[in-house]
Chains A and B, each alone.
Chain A
């Protein structure tokens, strides 16, 4: 689309036109509208900023402003070069992908096109476009804002999906523009311009590789912080020791990633290890990564707790719940549905007892779900922390319930509840960690237990997203 614009502005001003185009795209993305030609993009940007100034939010995407809401038709307008080459076309050409250091534009272009393809797959492109169409239709309804909460939710989701879509389309556009520039500069023997464009392609190639990773975390709650809970399986001290090793692995992993880690709840075993524990992992995309760890983790080793030095197999279960931001719809908790108990309260209490132990357990009576916290220094803070865990568990339960109702999300159900066995850690008779879902394996269990988990997480995320053909 902007090729026309480019022609009209003259060939030397590509960069400028591109900058203009993208600045208009990005300023406009917050308004949840996009149109299908560059001029109307400026038009809609102008309109929407006007609208913002007037402060009117009723019907934010209506036709009254002469702005066309995005639907699948806009996405169907494919980016093409002047001689009709599309991104899919580039892939079909099967140009060799050489090392980045090779100054070969076809190699760069091919790599970029592959990345775009992968990103689209990970974003579930077709589903995303369909969803956008549904959302746009809802945004166009006159009575939408009668229910502001619902309207807010729709408009937020629309905005976030639109951002993702525009991001990809912007890269496609850049790609074809630079290919055009290269062809043009060759025709006119402008080597300076050619090398500039090849450099630009290289920059896009690197940038889009990063976006491949980002696209792995495109789930609705992936950006959230989360709680990670580890529970020892049957098998006494050996499995409680294993549970504490697993918990330690997550603490170290989270620290490596620069996340904040705090222990919310910990029930130590009698001799060693933990019966269960919950940590809070604070930071961007913590849930998106950690959700890959949900399931049962199996350990095979010679138990240090067995005087006969026999080989033992133990299990630890891992659950991960997102801590939803304020923007999300959260389950309303009725104070009267809660039972708060102090645990390990011995004796008379009150003035007769001085203890720094002020752990509480909260039970949500209608669902029977409980949460506890004992690591804060006041009962009030322990209660607040436990309530946050409870909220997160109830939110998750609600998400699972909604997913069940919504067939297209059934798959995410297994991702968020206690899953099946996902990974085996063997320390004896050989040494190996193997993920049963992806078959990814390494022969150095120590580094994994020290928190080197990213390869397992990324391979799981990409396997689960990439296998799913549209």
Chain B
């Protein structure tokens, strides 16, 4: 069976295409280098930016586990990489004037925001390097985390030995920038498809933009709506479900690192009192959404939540799932729970 998203969708209770009113921003590195700045002005900016970064020392690190100077200096190099047309020649001082993708004032402005306002670096440059992808991100969309990259590896592992999973229909719930949906679409077989859902119209617009950038419109369909709601048409048809739902307990939101707490969308972070409201909703819904033998992988806040959820599935969903287990991230934290729908 070949599923295609090109077919018209006849009836759907929830809005099925991303809101057209919102237009995603273009990441810095994709903008045309239309600005000219003299080498000396740019060097002056660079010196200023370096000293601003150095002045931070380990203040943020001690305050809320934020970036130290070393990290900020590396980000500064990446900012140069993304905004200057020929970054190498800037460092070697061989070209004058220098072509840039934003004007000099904006460079001052951006770096000030980064250091003084703690605006996340990924929002500054408008993209996040994630796996082998460069994904567009902006305010209102969760910046995909390095830990989450592993979910694609987990999926890759299970589809290697299973043709049905490789060529079937998958869902990424709460897709945000579309990272998981795109990552998975790229490892699936030629008939494999992914539906990506998100409640936020900003997220669905950004995810659609990223899907388009990677030429995956035929493989990934982005739908707006809450969790399983946009998927009702295909209930029981899914061979795989993945999600990185909000899982931070509400009371911890206030104490988060400034980059996260002040700038990233609460909708993508706050998982209710225990942090597990959405994770439990996902475990409950997976029973009816997944085909027998289907696979799921969810990200959690760590050891405590993972253990609870495995216990929850084993007691409350007895007999519905098999091979349920916890998987650690590279820091050794039990970050994921995975399992299969029983046959």
List the one stretch of B69-77, B162-170, B228-236 in contact with chain A: B69-77
What 3 pairs across the A-B complex have the smallest Cβ distances? A377-B129, A379-B146, A342-B330
* A340 vs B150: C-alpha distance when bound (angstroms): 12
What residues on B are CB-neighbors of A407 within 8 Å? none
Which of A268, A355, A380 interacts with B130 by CB under 8 Å?
A: A380
**A358 nearest CB neighbor, chain B only:** B146
* B-chain residues with CB within 8 Å of residue A341 when the two chains form the complex: 330-332
Mark out the residues of chain B between 295 and 318 whose CB falls within 8 Å of any chain A CB in the assembled complex: 299-302
Nearest opposing residue in chain A for B275, CB measure: A351
Chain A proximity of B246: nearest CB distance (Å): 7
Q: Contact partner of B299 among A350, A354, A376, A379, CB < 8 A?
A: A350
B269 within 8 A of A: yes
In whole Å, how far is A296's beta carbon from the nearest beta carbon of chain B? Answer: 28
User: Could you tell me if B256 and A352 are in contact, using CB atoms closer than 8 angstroms?
Assistant: yes
- Please tell me if the beta carbons of B65 and A351 are within 8 angstroms of each other in the complex: no
> A144–B71 Cα gap in the complex (Å)?
55
Report how far A356 CA is from B127 CA in the complex, Å.
12
Within 8 A of B (CB), among A317-353: 340-342, 345-353
Within 8 A of A (CB), among B62-110: 65, 67, 70-71, 74-75, 78
- Asked if A378 is at the interface (CB within 8 A of a chain B CB), the reply is yes
With A347-B65, A354-B259 known to touch, is A377 a contact of B330 (CB < 8 Å)?
no
Q: Does A294 contact B (CB under 8 A)?
A: no
Q: Is the CB of B129 within 8 A of A381?
A: yes
A357 x B71 contact (CB < 8 A): yes
Q: Across the interface, which residues of A come within 8 angstroms of B333, CB to CB?
A: 348-350
Tell whether A461 is near chain B: CB-to-CB under 8 Å.
no
Q: Which residues of A contact B300 (CB under 8 A)?
A: 350
A349 engages B329 (CB within 8 Å): yes
Residue of B121, B302, B330 near A340 (CB, 8 A) is B330
Contact A349 B302 (CB under 8 A): yes
Q: Say how far B37's CB is from chain A's closest CB, in angstroms.
A: 24
Interface membership of A360, Cβ < 8 A: yes
User: CB < 8 Å: which of A345, A351, A357, A378 contacts B129?
Assistant: A378
Q: Give the chain A neighbours of B147 by CB distance below 8 A.
A: 349-350
Minimal beta-carbon separation of B21 from chain A (angstroms): 28
**Structural contact, A378 and B260, CB atoms closer than 8 A:** no
| Chain B contacts for A356, CB-based, 8 A | 67, 71, 74-75, 78, 121-122
Give Cα A358–Cα B71 distance, bound, in whole angstroms: 11
Tell whether B143 is near chain A: CB-to-CB under 8 Å.
Answer: yes
Residue-by-residue, is B147-166 near A (CB-CB < 8 Å gives 1, otherwise 0)?
10100000000000000000
Residues on B with C-beta less than 8 A from A347 are: 65
Range class of the A interface residue count: 20 to 34
Task: Give the interface centre of B256, B269, B301, B330 by most chain A CB atoms within 10 Å.
Answer: B330
Name the interface residues of B111-135: CB closer than 8 Å to any CB of A: 120-122, 128-133
Interface positions of B (Cβ within 8 A of A): 65, 67, 70-71, 74-75, 78, 120-122, 128-133, 142-143, 145-147, 149, 244, 246-248, 252, 256-257, 259-260, 264, 268-269, 299-302, 329-333, 335
Q: How far is the CA of A357 from the CA of B260 in the complex (A)?
A: 15
Majority secondary structure of chain A interface residues (helix, strand, loop or mixed) = loop
Q: Is the CB of A379 within 8 A of B65?
A: no
**0/1 interface trace, chain A 253-268, chain B, CB 8 Å (1 if under):** 0000000000000001
Contact between A350 and B129, CB atoms less than 8 A apart: no
**A353 contacts B71, C-beta separation under 8 Å:** no
Q: List, in ascending order, chain B residues with CB within 8 A of A342's CB.
A: 146, 329-331
**A354 proximity list for chain B (CB < 8 A):** 120, 122, 143, 145, 257, 259-260, 264
Given the interface pairs A352-B252, A354-B143, the reply to whether A360 lies near B269 with Cβ below 8 Å is: no
B145 to chain A, nearest CB (A): 6
Residue of B nearest to A376 (CB): B129
Asked if B78 and A346 make an inter-chain contact with CB atoms under 8 angstroms apart, the answer reads: no
Say how far B190's CB is from chain A's closest CB, in angstroms: 23
In the complex, A154→B290 CA distance in Å? 53
Closest to B259 in A: A354
Contact between chains at A378 and B264 (CB < 8 Å): no
Query: How far is the CB of B262 from the nearest CB of chain A, in Å?
Result: 11
Instruction: Out of B131, B247, B330, name the residue touching A345 (CB < 8 Å).
Output: B330
A353 CA / B71 CA spacing, docked (Å): 14
CB contacts (< 8 Å) of A340 on chain B: these are: 330
Q: How far is the CA of A42 from the CA of B271 in the complex (A)?
A: 79
In the complex formed, the residue of B with least CB distance to A379 is B146
Q: A354's closest neighbor in chain B, by CB?
A: B259
Q: How far is the CA of A54 from the CA of B9 in the complex (A)?
A: 55
Whether A351 lies near B131 (C-beta < 8 A) is no
- Which of B70, B145, B257, B333 counts the most chain A CB atoms within 10 A? B145
Which residue of the partner chain B has the closest CB to A268? B70
For the complex with contacts A348-B333, A351-B248, A378-B132, 8 further pairs of A-B residues with Cβ separation under 8 Å are A350-B300, A351-B246, A353-B145, A354-B120, A356-B74, A378-B146, A381-B129, A381-B131
A349 vs B150: C-alpha distance in the bound complex, in angstroms? 13
Docked Cα-Cα span, A68 to B111, in Å, equals 71
Smallest Cβ distance from B284 to chain A, in angstroms? 21
Given contacts A268-B70, A351-B145, A380 and B330 within 8 Å (CB-CB): no
Contacts of B67 in A (CB 8 A): 355-357
Supposing A378-B129, A378-B132, A380-B149 touch, asked if A348 and B301 sit within 8 A by C-beta, the answer is: yes
Give Cα A141–Cα B143 distance, bound, in whole angstroms. Answer: 61
Considering the chains assembled together, what is the distance between the CA atoms of A350 and B248 in angstroms? 9
Once the chains bind, are B132 and A351 in contact (CB under 8 Å)?
no
Inter-subunit contact B75/A349 (CB<8 Å):
no
Bound complex: CA A360 to CA B329 (Å): 11
Complex-state Cα separation, A350 to B150, whole angstroms: 12
* Contact between B132 and A381, CB atoms less than 8 A apart: yes
Nearest chain A residue, comparing its CB with the CB of B331: A345
By a CB distance below 8 angstroms, the chain A residues around B330 are: 340-342, 345, 360, 379
